[in-house]
Amino acid sequence: MAKGPKDQAVSERLPVARVAVDISLAHLDRPFDYLVPARLDVEAVPGCRVRVRFAGQLVDGYLLERAETSEHQGRLARLERVISPEPVLTPEIFDLARVVADRYAGTLADVLRLAIPPRHATAEREAPAVGAARAPVPPAPDPGSWSRYPAGAAFLAGLAEGRPVRAAWSALPGTGAGEWPAEIAVAAATAAAATTPATTPEPPCTSRPAGDVDPEGDDLPHKYLGRDERAGAVRHPSPGPSP
């Protein structure tokens, strides 16, 4: 299906997008330049997930930055679409991933695949309600006889917050008969209070009916290619390996 003039128009503001394409091949471990269509001007923000055409196939990538011009002398391909306008790749994550890849002779794509969690479209659509009531933070329990243990107070605090607490306990000699059963009772009561449903109303959330499938998909497959796309990309030299 041929695209209309509106789809062919290029953004007038920073029309060039530098993209880190998700390809785990060392000789393609560099950014490539693409044109930003006018219809994607608002969504194409640095750090967002995009889909581009590379070597004849659609692959995933991250938009690193937008620029006025490109060093590539030929024709640039266009961004196919913005998967999500959420900026998940921050400059700090990119710099760290680049250093790790150069240091350990890996590729940026492999490091980013481990550094950034997979996309969940449903969670992106559920915006938190403004001023939603939050469950009150439980007060720190009185450690009582648990204060005799170096990590006793932290153990009870973890139980009160509902966190998964793992501990190996050797009961100390008590000052009176039946002290260690009382300590167990305090820990059990603290854990039970943390699992009691909160009385404050929870913020409303939206849900999709059963069988409703996200047309864009929560997880997109990765492609592994063996050749470069010369017509629609330009090579940007990457920094050398760290000492």
Q: Determine the pLDDT at residue 188.
A: 82
Task: Collapse the DSSP code of 37 into the 3-class scheme (helix H, G, I; strand E, B; otherwise coil) and give the result.
Answer: strand
pLDDT at 183 > cutoff 60: yes
Residue 59 pLDDT: 96
Cα separation of 223 and 6, whole Å?
29
**How far are the Cα atoms of 58, 69, 221 from residue 74, in angstroms, in the given order?**
20, 12, 29
Beta-strand relationship, 57-67 and 16-21: antiparallel
pLDDT band at 164 (very low <50, low <70, confident <90, very high): confident
pLDDT attached to residue 123:
72
| Angle in degrees, CA 128, 165, 150, rounded to 5 | 125
Residue 176 confidence class, pLDDT cut points 50, 70, 90: low
What pLDDT does residue 26 have?
Answer: 93
The string of pLDDT tens digits covering residues 37-77 is 999 999 999 999 999 999 999 999 999 999 999 998 889 99
Largest distance between two CA atoms of the chain:
87
The CATH number of 7-122, from 3.30.360.10, 3.30.465.10, 3.40.1440.60, 1.10.10.10, is 3.40.1440.60
Structural domain spans, the chain = 7-122, 144-194
Residue recorded with tokens 């009916």: 209
CA 54 – CA 50 distance, rounded (Å)? 12
Backbone φ and ψ of 101, nearest 5°:
-65, -45
Beta-carbon-side half-sphere exposure of residue 126 (alpha carbons within 13 Å): 10
Residue type at 66? R
Q: Sheet of 49-54: strands edge to edge?
A: 32-35, 16-21, 57-67, 49-54, 79-84
Return d(Cα 120, Cα 220) in angstroms, integer. Answer: 10
Segment 96-115 mean pLDDT: 94
What's the pTM value of the predicted model, to 2 decimals? 0.53
Per-residue pLDDT band at 182 (split at 50, 70, 90):
confident
